Amino acid sequence: MNRLSYSFLCLILFFGLMSDVVARNNPLDGPEQMIVKSIDDNKQANLALLEKVVNINSGTMNFSGVKNVGRVFKYEFEKLGFATQWIDGKAFNRAGHLYASYGLQNNKPDSQKILMIGHLDTVFAENSAFQSYKTLDDYTVSGPGITDMKGGNVIIISVLQALKDVGVLDNLQIKVLLMGDEEKRGAPYSIATKELVEAGQWADIAMGFEDGDGNPRTAVISRRGAVGWKLNVKGRPAHSSQIFREGYGDGAIFEAARILNQFRTKLSTVPNLTFNPGVIVGGTDVEYDKAAANGTAFGKANVIAQSTTVNGDIRALSPQQLKKAKAVMKKIISQNLAETSAEIEFFDGYPPMAPNDGNRQLLASYNDASIDLGYGKVLAVDPRKAGAADISFVANHVEMALDGLGLMGRGGHTVNEVADIDTLTSQAHRAAVVMYRLSKK
C-alpha cells in the first residue's frame, strides 16, 4: 500500500470513528432533533402567548376571565387542527372547561390514546393586587398563575405544535382538557369532573402539566387524595358541677378532644397519611356553615357542653390507605365517653393518585428523554410535596400517568409567584420527545 492510499484509509477510519462518537453523544434521532428545533424556534411566540394569558385575570370565580383565557387557547388548538368544545359550568356553578381533541378518527385504532391535562383558573381574584406579567431578569418572569398553571398550558401548545411540525401528530389520538375550576372545585364533583373522568376512561396515558414541586429534576408519579370530613359530637347538658358523675357524663367538648387525640395517636405515624382538624366549634348551641367555612357557638363556663362540631381533611396516597384510615376513625368515634355520642361524615374530594408500575414506566421514559436531551436525571417527587390535582381523577383509569410537566418556578399561590423561563422550552422538549417515542409503540 502506497503512502497516499494509507493516508486515505486513515482519513476514512478517523471520520468513521468521529461519526460514531457524534452519534453516541447525540442520542436523538432526526425527528427528535427537529422537535427540539421547532420548540426553540417558537419560543418567542410562546412567550408572547404566556404574557397574553397571564395578563387576563382568571380567578376561579371570575367566570368571564376564565372564559376569556379559554378563548385564547381555543384559538391556538384550532390553529393546530384540533376540534374544540366549551363545556359550560352552570351545572356546577363555575365558568366551565375547554375540551380539545385530535386524531380520534385517524384510521389507526391501535395508536396511543393520550390525555393532556391543564387548568385555566388561578387563585388570584379580580381584586387582587397581583395582576400582570413582568420580566424580572433574563431568566425570571413573574405573574399571577404563571406556573400554576398558565405556563403548563402554553407548554401543551408548544409540544403539540412541534409534533405537528414533524408530522407525528397524526400517529396519536389526543384529548386535552383545560379545567376551569381546579383551584376551587365546583359542586357536585361528579358533574364538575364528568368530562375529565370520561377522558381518563378513554385514554391509555395521562400527562399533567402542573408545576409539581417546582423542580425540573422531578416529576409526579403519585399524589395524595384529599377528602373532607365533619365530626358531630353530642353530650348531656347540665350544671358543670355535675360533670363526670354517672348520668351526666363528660360533655361534648371532652368527647371531641378524646376523639381528636386518638386520631392523632393512631394515625399520625402512618407514612404519607395526614389529617387535620381545621376548625372546631363547641358549646351549648353551635352552628357551622361548611360552604362559608365559619361557625358560631353559645355556651357558659358553668354548663356542660351539649354540642361540638369539627371540620377537617384527610390526605392519603392510595384508595386502600384512605379506606383503612376511615375505618380507624370510625372505630375511635364509636368508643364514646359516658353520656356522649358522635358521628362522622366524609365528603367528596380528590381521589389519590397511587404510585404504580405504569406510572414508574412512564417516568422512566421521561427520564430517558431528559438524559438524551442533556437535562439530566428526573426523579419522582415525594408525595408529601405534591398536593391534589386534576390528574388524580383519571390516574386510576389509565395504564400510565405522569404529572409535574409544566413551567417551573416558585411562590405559587402567592404574589411572589415567579417562573424560570428557560424551563418553558426544556419542559416542552422532554414532553414532546416522550410523546414522539410513544407514537412509535
3-state secondary structure of 440: coil
**What residues contact residue 297 under an 8 Å CB cut-off, 6+ apart?**
281, 282, 283, 285, 286, 287
Return d(Cα 363, Cα 379) in angstroms, integer.
8
What DSSP state is assigned to residue 105? T
Burial string for 380-392 (b: 16+ CB within 10 Å, else e) reads: bbebeebbbbbbb
Closest CA to 38 of 165, 222, 168, 205: 165
3-state secondary structure of 158: helix
Could you tell me the CA-to-CA distances from 389 to 117, 209, 210, 211 in Å, in that order?
A: 10, 10, 8, 10
3-state secondary structure of 168: coil
**What residues contact residue 224 under an 8 Å CB cut-off, 6+ apart?**
272, 274, 315, 316, 317, 352, 353, 383, 384, 386, 387, 388
Grid coordinates of 282: 363547641
pLDDT of residue 74: 98
What DSSP state is assigned to residue 120? -
3-state secondary structure of 57: coil
Neighbours of 284 (CB within 10 A): 16
Burial string for 58-73 (b: 16+ CB within 10 Å, else e) reads: bbbebbebbbbbbebb
Closest CA to 159 of 434, 386, 379: 434
Q: In which element (H, E) is residue 432 found?
A: helix 423-439
Domains of the chain are: 30-223+351-439 (3.40.630.10), 227-346 (3.30.70.360)
Neighbours of 427 (CB within 10 A): 28
Return d(Cα 80, Cα 227) in angstroms, integer.
38
Return d(Cα 297, Cα 308) in angstroms, integer.
9
Neighbours of 401 (CB within 10 A): 31
Grid coordinates of 63: 367566570
Closest CA to 257 of 210, 215, 305, 289: 305
Grid coordinates of 192: 364538575
Q: Which residues of the chain have pLDDT under 50?
A: 3-4, 6-24
> What is the length of the chain?
441
Strands 113-119 and 173-179: parallel
pLDDT of residue 19: 42
Locus of grid cell 386520631: 263
3-state secondary structure of 376: coil
Return d(Cα 318, Cα 355) in angstroms, integer.
8
Contact 435, 114 (CB under 8 A): yes
Helices (H), 26-150: 30-41, 43-54, 63-79
Output the pTM of the full model. Answer: 0.86
Strands 341-346 and 379-380: unpaired
Contact 197, 394 (CB under 8 A): yes
Closest CA to 301 of 262, 243, 256, 249: 243
